[in-house]
Amino acid sequence: MTFNLSWACVLVGCISASLAGAYNLSDEFPPLWKESPGQFSDYSVENGKYIINPWNYSERIGMYKILLAQTARYFEKFAPEDEQNILWGLPIHHGWQYHSGRLADPTLRTDCGHDSGDPLCISVDSWWADLNYYLSTIPFLAAIDSGLMGVSADNVILLPPSKDQTNFCYNVSSCHSSFPEAMKMWNKFYKCAMSPSSSFDDLLKYMWDAMFHPWSLLVRIFRVGKNKPNVILL
Ligand SMILES: *[C@@H]1O[C@H](CO)[C@@H](O)[C@H](O)[C@H]1NC(C)=O
Ligand SMILES: *[C@@H]1O[C@H](CO)[C@@H](O)[C@H](O)[C@H]1NC(C)=O
Ligand SMILES: *[C@@H]1O[C@H](CO)[C@@H](O)[C@H](O)[C@H]1NC(C)=O
């Protein structure tokens, strides 16, 4: 199985860094990684359900943090210290989006994501933020669905953005109905990860399929739905 790294670079920037396996985790953590939620109990709880606001950078990066922690054991056989967990590319990329101001409101109609307002706010008007929604919540909810997160699907609720609510999905069942293929592909990836006989190449392939699928789907959606999709930046 061959995997074309240069395509990964084109597609999602620094995701390639972690795929190449050549980077130093200790100095490459995304911004605010240590302070962000790292377990479900760090989020607020209402009626026995964890409430996650993916429109807050800290809470979104926290979903990755839980995902990385819960999948670490499946990557131990490839390298120590979770260094070969290919999911690292996702939070690293999101951290870069945050650090470079790409998650802030580009229209400047609100101060969402800007230093003058709430710097942690993720704007639904940011095209980057909207695309990343699918590369954070779908892998996260699919992991819950695959049974590797230790919580039941009914116990986690994601909060909607202030507008454009119908572009997104908020729980395992609604994501299955809105984005069935993407959920299915992430489920396949986790199933492969949990299998003791899986190879690193198999995992790369399944992750590639899962990432690529929603991504190409979204380019279509946002071409229709947003005025300025910068497809070239992908
Ligand atoms: C990774 O970074 C840490 C802290 O900056 C440093 O101590 C360590 O030697 C680095 N490891 C490698 C393999 O470069
Ligand atoms: C964003 O999330 C963090 C972590 O849950 C929380 O401490 C912070 O208050 C939140 N910010 C806003 C504006 O909700
Ligand atoms: C999941 O989301 C859908 C649509 O947003 C909602 O109708 C449904 O009640 C939610 N299910 C759970 C278990 O929260």
**pLDDT > 50? residue 2:** no
pTM above 0.75, yes or no: yes
Is the predicted pLDDT of residue 21 greater than 60, yes or no? no
Which amino acid does the sequence have at 99? H
Tell me the best of 58, 116, 121, 162 to mutate to test the pocket of ligand 2, counting ligand atoms within 8 Å of each CB and taking the most. Answer: 58
CA of 26 to the centre of ligand 1 (A): 7
CA 113 to centroid of ligand 3, rounded, Å: 28
Report whether 167 contacts 225 (CB < 8 A).
yes
pLDDT in tens, 133-180: 989 999 999 999 999 999 999 999 999 999 999 889 999 999 999 888
Domain ranges of the chain: 5-222
pLDDT at 211: 82
**Helix (H, G, I), strand (E, B), or coil: what is residue 113?**
coil
CA atoms of 87 and 75, how far apart (whole Å): 10
pLDDT digits (tens, 9 = 90+) for 194-224: 998 888 888 988 988 888 775 555 554 554 4
- What is the structure's pLDDT at 107? 94
Q: What are the tokens at 142?
A: 């699919």
Beta carbons within 8 Å of 111's beta carbon, 6+ residues apart: 105, 117, 118, 121
Q: Alpha-carbon distance 53 to 186, whole Å? A: 21
**Cα–ligand 2 centroid distance for 15 (angstroms):** 26
Q: Taking CB atoms and a 6 Å cutoff, what residues make up the pocket around ligand 3? A: 154, 157, 170-171, 173-174
Give the model's pLDDT for residue 226: 45
Tens of pLDDT along 29-59? 899 999 999 999 999 999 999 999 999 999 9
Tell me the mean pLDDT in the region 98-114: 94
Q: Is 108 helix (H, G, I), strand (E, B) or coil?
A: coil
Handedness of CA 52, 82, 183, 224 (dihedral sign): positive
